[in-house]
Structure 1
Amino acid sequence: MRTTTAILLLLILLMVLLRACVDGYRPVIIVHGIFDGPKQFQTLALFINETHPGTEVTVVDLYKHMSSLKPLWKQVQNFHRAIEPIMEKARDGVHLLCFSQGGLICRALLSTTPNHNIHNFIALSSPLAGQYGDTDYLQQVFPGCVKDMIFLVCYNRVGQRVSICQYWNDPHHRPSYLKNNKFLPVLNGDTPHDKIKSWRENFLHIKKLVLIGGPDDGVITPWQSSHFGFYNSKERVVEMRNQEFYRNDTFGLKTLSARGDLSLCLCSGVKHMHWHSNFTVFTNCIEKWLT
């Protein structure tokens, strides 16, 4: 009888410990990129559940495929509505894992949401400092156009209704970019506005910022944009720490780095559409941040 009781107590203890372990994993919210949808992230969700069993993984089912071209501030507003209930239920916070254009949406969510409980923000191959390059994606949106001429399309009221135009950062037409782009220079604090201070405070609520990218991406141009680097007027890449928004700490990037809460992960040999299905990328750059 005593042996049976001891075994039952042991089983109960193991169940409690297992539940505590499972409950220890914060929910993960995944935001897809341009022309993507939840289907493309099934493998990534599988990776998470195989390594961290019981994790609640949500791939937000909004602005799929061609609708991903809609204006980014509108997307930010509706993505916020979708993830707010998940955040409210998560006592210990959530993780944001955002791919490509989704990384910009998540950055804007962080900055514009007071008192959020987003723990770690992982930006997976995202054009965080902008995009400037002739790629297949660009040709899908503007067939026959070359990068040198896209500013004529993007830097006006009509062009700013297309998502890619809102992070198109032409280094040869910076005054026009700062004046007419209504998303990225505002988000980076390159264009002054009355919410810079509060947005910076909101952004700094996160515990870790993880930036993932690599030289063989083939879409993010320059690829260093995924690490907040970008071209100067001579199309030479200026790395993150020499960017004006970093030196001036306009949205908190320098502060995060000084806190030791900025992690850069570089992976070679990974094409843009393979980041979220590459297990090596997951184990080397993502897994440890999802506890």
Structure 2
Amino acid sequence: MKNGSAKLLSTFLGVCFAVAVVGYKPVIIVHGLFDGSKEFTYLVRLINQSHPGTRVSVIDLYDYTASLKALWKQVQGFRQAVLPIMQNAADGVHLICFSQGGLVCRGLLSTLPDHNVHSFISLSSPQAGQYGDTDYLRHVFPTFVKAHLYKACYNSIGQEVSICNYWNDPHHREQYVKHSEYLAVLNSERPNPNATVWKKNFLRIKKLVLIGGPDDGVITPWESSHFGFYNDNETIVDMKDQDVYVKDVFGLKTLDSRRDLVICVFPGVKHTKWHSDDKVYHDCIDKWLT
């Protein structure tokens, strides 16, 4: 009995020592439109339960209505917040970026030449843009419907509002390319002299995890969370048939060929529930936080 207890204690101490030595990489969480750090309490708890001792930082910037600020401004602010975390993490960090935050994180990863992000987890983010009437949209533009929002968005004033930075009207493609100061630049749909460098920066990540599903109710089309989007007939064009993939403008095709692109389609989850759904966490997020 004593020998058994001693072996059990030895095993337990060995596990504790291994965790202490190896540890887990810090996790940085970037929130989305109209929310803030407190919305991610449950996700932090899930991470701490499955990966004890993980340092989780929910960046408390541009919360709630401040999330309407232009995205390049947000990228600058978030950069100052995440750099010290990255610099203090010799083995690298993981990024979990929700909704609009996924686009902020793309800006960070593209413009940070020495980032050490391993897993970039894009949690229901409009990566290919947004084109749909939602409650979120009505809060900001109550008198516009999707067919006419380009009139408010595709000008210098509109581009001061975050939603307009990724409003992608498939019926006004030329105006989108001309006026979009964020998404069209990230996608090199507008001439971007930094495209080669940004691609190299983005490809420093070890894994890109794209999570979304058909019952989201906000990301429109929901396939945008996987880089799919409408053509001018509002028919979905799959990621692999999009120019950004075919031309590999910022590294999607390269990540896919490296087997470092993960697609997670999850039905039955509403937009505001992605970061508090146990099954989404355990099936789509947990394994990439080691």
Partner in structure 2 of residue 143 of structure 1: 142
Q: Does 1:158 align with 2:183?
A: no
State the 1:13 CA deviation. Answer: 8.0
Distance 1:201 1:20 in 2: 34
Partner in structure 1 of residue 91 of structure 2: 92
Deviation digits for residues 235-267 of structure 1, max 9, x if unmatched?
000010000111000000000000000000010
Counterpart residue type for residue 142 of structure 1: F
Secondary structure, in 3 states, of the residue corresponding to 1:216? coil
Distance 2:18 2:108 in 1: 30
Partner in structure 2 of residue 196 of structure 1: 195
Q: Give the TM-score, by structure 1 length.
A: 0.95
Q: Does 1:53 align with 2:52?
A: yes
State the 1:19 CA deviation. Answer: 4.0
Counterpart residue type for residue 258 of structure 2: R
Q: Does 1:134 align with 2:133?
A: yes
Q: Give the TM-score, by structure 2 length.
A: 0.95
Partner in structure 2 of residue 168 of structure 1: 167
Partner in structure 2 of residue 21 of structure 1: 19
Partner in structure 2 of residue 68 of structure 1: 67
State the 1:144 CA deviation. Answer: 2.3
Distance 2:236 2:66 in 1: 31
Partner in structure 2 of residue 278 of structure 1: 277
Counterpart residue type for residue 52 of structure 2: P
Q: How does 1:29-44 map to 2 (within 5 A)?
A: 29-44=28-43
Unaligned runs of 5+ in 2: none
Partner in structure 1 of residue 100 of structure 2: 101
State the 1:15 CA deviation. Answer: 4.2
Deviation digits for residues 1-41 of structure 1, max 9, x if unmatched?
xx9xxx6x996885464143144210000000000000000
Secondary structure, in 3 states, of the residue corresponding to 1:75? helix
Partner in structure 2 of residue 220 of structure 1: 219
Distance 1:15 1:243 in 2: 52
Equivalent pairs: percent with the same residue? 60
Q: How does 1:174-189 map to 2 (within 5 A)?
A: 174-189=173-188
Secondary structure, in 3 states, of the residue corresponding to 2:225? helix
Q: Does 1:238 align with 2:237?
A: yes
Distance 2:204 2:46 in 1: 27
Secondary structure, in 3 states, of the residue corresponding to 2:126? coil
Unaligned runs of 5+ in 1: none
